[in-house]
Structure 1
Amino acid sequence: MQPKQLLIALFICIGLWSCKDADKKTEKENLQTFVEPEPLKEFGFVLEDYIVKKDTIRKGDSFGEILERNHIGYPRIFNIAEKAKDSFDIRRLQVGKPYTLLCANDSLQTPQCFIYQPSLEDYVVINFQDSIHAYTSRKPIKFVEKVATGIIPKGSGISMLMEEKGLSPRLAYKMADEIYAWTIDFRRLQEGDRFKVIYTDKYIDDSIYTGVNEIKAVYFEHNKDAFYAFEFETDSVKGIKDYFNEEAKNLRRAFLKAPVQFSRISSRYNLNRRIKYYGYKLRPHKGTDFAAPIGTPILATANGTVTESTRRGGNGKYVKIRHNATYSTQYLHMKAQNVKKGDFVKQGDVIGWVGMTGNTGGPHVCYRFWKNGKQVDPFKQKLPEAEPISDSLKVKYLEFIKPIKERLDNIQFEDNAITIPSEDDVLTSKIQ
């Protein structure tokens, strides 16, 4: 073989060897970078170990009928129900709520576990694949802190601005009704009014968005005046939080203006009311009617204790709350109540939903207001301001808000800004 041919053969061998070496290196890299995915889990179970059947409770469904449809006999159903009753009453299944059956991964697909979800967060497990046991738990919850800013454009309100920028309308509701209800009239915002807000969003299982959890701090500029608001816990035992400004003054009054959000007054308190239908006889109206669609949440207008949650005559379903020795409120014609007698409720808590029970010509809530045992017009009362921050807490509060205010002041205004912090700033609460 000629020297030139030997040289060419040598280069070919080196090239083949390099390619082979590169292939081995690539194969090794692929092996190193491949990570087996985590098995899909829900409710604490590895789903691939079962045949999973998901459905919702339908009208007429019962625990026994659901299991019988899935080939479990009544003697065993009775046994399961008896052993689970101390942890969960199977009669409490509600129409429309989801449930999951984890079935054996075989041809018979026999149910081994029943999981019921009374809410997005909470679930009940009745496990009968080996021994029978039941327990309640909650899905992992994550709170993600976010920052948003906005500038009110000409001819637009804050709700429209939120929608245009992809922000939750709940931000507007909370600022208007919970924080600045007695400070800023959100129906009369001006072009150029602007805000900066620090808040947290709530997620279940990392992926299910359930809305704004809480607002931590706000800077709102209205008519060139600055209004700060900082959330602060004033009673750790009852979990009561209020909003105060940079000087520790409470921004709220003791009572909300209305028990439903963004509603209209359809009938006012009127002791001289006469109705044509009743022959113009005097029929005093000792409440204020707020018209709203059926199912609209009804809010407690102040902190207090539920003294009645029942149904009676023309009042229909109603709730009555004693706020202190002076004031009580009542909420009539509910579709359903969300509280029971003896419950302590906080201002803004949902105590029921608008309905048409009792004597009513349309969906609304009749809001009644007592002062010293006498029904009065709440709009003609000089209502007390909310509890001021105590002297012992004031120093703590001012120290607490110092870094938050500094952070708020350093946020730049942008017309469409919404930012999510780094992974280190995400507040996470995982419940196994």
Structure 2
Amino acid sequence: MMRTRPLKVALLGCGVVGSEVARIMATHADDLTARIGAPVELAGVAVRRPSKVREGIDPALITTDATALVKRGDIDVVVEVIGGIEPARTLITTAFEHGASVVSANKALLAEDGTTLYEAAERHGRDLYFEAAVAGAIPLIRPLRESLAGDKVNRVLGIVNGTTNFILDRMDSAGSGYSEALDEATALGYAEADPTADVEGFDAAAKAAILAGIAFHTRVRLDDVHREGITEVTSADLASAKQMGCTVKLLAICERAADGRSVTARVHPAMIPLSHPLASVREAYNAVFVEADAAGRLMFYGPGAGGSPTASAVLGDLVAVCRNRLNGATGPGESAYTGLPVSGMGEVVTRYHISLDVADKPGVLAQVATVFAEHGVSIDTVRQKGRQDGDGEASLVVVTHRAPDAALSGTVEALRKLDTVRGVASIMRVEGE
């Protein structure tokens, strides 16, 4: 039977995502009621600037007192889309204390202190859902938490930041420089006025921490994730990648060690073969590969950001949480039973593409090869080309076989000390092979 008393929803934040959540709740009210088994009612909207006109939202619902809103006691679900660590963390835990379940899109908070939120939700018997925190409209969290709950996930590899993917795509397809591509991303609304979180990899690292924790049933914090951004990627890197039949993407890579005793999580630009499905992910789209024992390789693809896609994920969680509420149940909470340690980047086994500026004279290649051998790093291919300007220098590109990242880093540092090496032009990992 249909329950007549509506489930009350408090909305924290009414920006691009929050306003879209409110709009969908209003325009799809009948469908949401049918899917949930009860009406859902927007009971309050907490904002910082109450004077701003918000089309379609009753001004009587607007409040600047978010704390009072989550403490009301009659709120069934709190939707948090304000972002950041505080006051979001306090508001969420307060909501649990006063009987509400929570739907959040707050990747930074979940990566920084998800344990506090999980524990508060469990202590008060409430739900914490956050599909929108990682990949916008792409269903990813729920498949990992539920659909693959009976399988063993070994690797998660993907593009989880649309801004950086747009920039790298423009640099590759249009030959744009980094600054030019960033300006275009900003003009189109893909990049914020301050793009640091995106281009320096902080956004992708937070998502990697969340994905690794869920995939491997262990606690992974933002500080555990090795992070490099794309600000040092040059047009020359893209050109060199093309010569190898590759392109460059900012990848989030979460892996279980071969012996199963540890995990790693990292975000950095990498060359991937054009034959790899991630190479064809264009514009601001996201795509994630999940590799599991029984399921094999699964790919999730779609828009990873934006008001409507993110709101779609929020509403999906809202429906699930409301259904749980009606049934007197809760969905999956934190699963951290493995307690696996998170290894540092030095233990990751990968390949390197290293571009060197060297003296154009006999014996240089032998010196460089000796350094690689001394560090236990095997060379796959070498390409050397003298410069036409006759300045006595040449470009030397070395691609290695797989080796521990620490050994590769040590090799690069030793190369810098050679008199015949004028400079290390670029260093990039090679993935996806």
Q: In which range does the TM-score fall when normalised by the shorter chain? A: under 0.3
Between 1 and 2, higher relative CO (CA 8 Å, sep ≥ 6) is seen in 2
Which one has a larger percent strand, Structure 1 or Structure 2?
A: 1
TM norm structure 2: 0.22
Which one has a larger percent helix, Structure 1 or Structure 2?
A: 2
